[in-house]
Every structure is written in C-alpha cells, then in structure tokens.
C-alpha cells in the first residue's frame, strides 16, 4: 500500500519537529514489527500443520469411501438373495437390519470425517487471512518508519 499524503502531513507536522516523539514512534513501530514477525512465523507454522492434517484427512476420507464401496458390494451380494424372499418376515427383518446397521455406521463415520475435514479447511482459510493481514500490517509499519527517516533526516 502506498502511504497517503496524510501520513506525510502527520510525520512533518508532529514527528520531524519533536525528536522525542519521533523516537518513541519509531521505537513503537519497530517493536510492532518484531511482534508481527513472531506472529507471522507462528501463523505460517500453524498453516503448515493444518495443511498436513488436511492431507491426512483427505486420505482417511478416500479410505472410508473405499470401505463404503466394499460394504455396499458385500451387502448387495447378501441382500440380493434376501430380497428375493422379501415376503418371509424373518428374512425381511434380517435384510432391514443389515442395511440399517452396517451402512448407517459407515456413512456416519464418513460424515464425521467430512465435517472434520471441512472444519480444518475453514480454519486453514481463516489462518491464511490472519497471516496476510499481519504481513500487511508489518509492511505498513516498515513503510512508515522508512517515510519518517526520509522526511525527518
């Protein structure tokens, strides 16, 4: 971001004529830059961690989808013949129980993993936004320090 004329006006009107205020202002901005360096480093590490977790979750989701496919295939193998005798109450109950229990648990597990993956993906997006704002604030502080040094030699 280019600094606006109001920044120059502030610097020339208040800081150039008062070396104590100028020194305090530059010291405060320098401290802010150091704090932001640390925060950006922490955010970057956190983003790396989130990215690794997202990759692991993607693998787990693929694995769960494969398990669902296998369970569905196994159920179809068993349920096909059971459906042929759907008028038999005992076999109809067994058919229903197999469908509800096995498939329901696998799908529930998949839904939980998908929710977790989406949550972590959202956290990654939020953390990335925070990191970018911190980087911009750091740049702005450094730009103001540079401008002070130019306008108030």
Placement of tokens 């498939």 in the chain: 103
**Confidence at 58, pLDDT banded by 50, 70, 90:** confident
User: How many structural domains compose the chain?
Assistant: 1
Nearest Cα to 106, choosing from 148, 141, 73, 144?
73
The structure's pTM equals 0.63
Q: Which alpha helices (H) appear in 17-103, and where do they start and end?
A: 19-84, 89-98
Per-residue pLDDT tens over the stretch 129-141: 899 999 999 999 9
Are 129 and 66 within 8 A, CB to CB?
A: no
Q: State the pLDDT at residue 25.
A: 92
- Please provide the average confidence, as pLDDT, over all residues in the chain: 84
Domain that holds residue 32: 5-151
Give the C-alpha separation, 143 to 140, whole Å: 5
108 vs 34, more confident: 34
Specify the residue for token string 């360096």: 37
pLDDT given for residue 128 in this prediction: 87
At residue 84, the pLDDT reads 81
Give yes or no for a contact between 15 and 21, defined as CB atoms under 8 angstroms apart. Answer: yes
Average pLDDT rounded to a whole number, residues 75-92: 79
CA 72, 80, 77: angle at the middle one, nearest 5? 45
* Residue 5 in this model has a pLDDT that exceeds 70: yes
How many whole angstroms separate alpha carbon 94 and alpha carbon 101? 10
Q: Helix (H, G, I), strand (E, B), or coil: what is residue 127?
A: helix
């Amino acid at each position: 971001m280019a600094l606006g004329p109001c920044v120059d006006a502030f610097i020339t009107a208040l800081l150039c004529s008062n070396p104590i205020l100028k020194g305090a202002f530059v010291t405060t901005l320098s401290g802010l830059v150091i704090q932001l360096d640390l925060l950006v480093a922490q955010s970057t590490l956190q983003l790396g961690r989130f990215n690794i977790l997202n990759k692991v979750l993607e693998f787990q989701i693929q694995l769960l989808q494969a398990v669902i496919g296998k369970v569905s295939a196994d159920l179809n193998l068993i349920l096909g013949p059971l459906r042929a005798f759907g008028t038999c109450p005992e076999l109809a109950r067994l058919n229903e129980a197999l469908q509800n229990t096995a498939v329901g648990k696998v799908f529930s597990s998949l839904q939980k993993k998908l929710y977790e993956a989406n949550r972590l993906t959202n956290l990654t997006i939020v953390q990335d936004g925070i990191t970018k704002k911190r980087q911009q604030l750091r740049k702005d502080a450094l730009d103001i320090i540079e401008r002070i040094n130019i306008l108030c030699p």
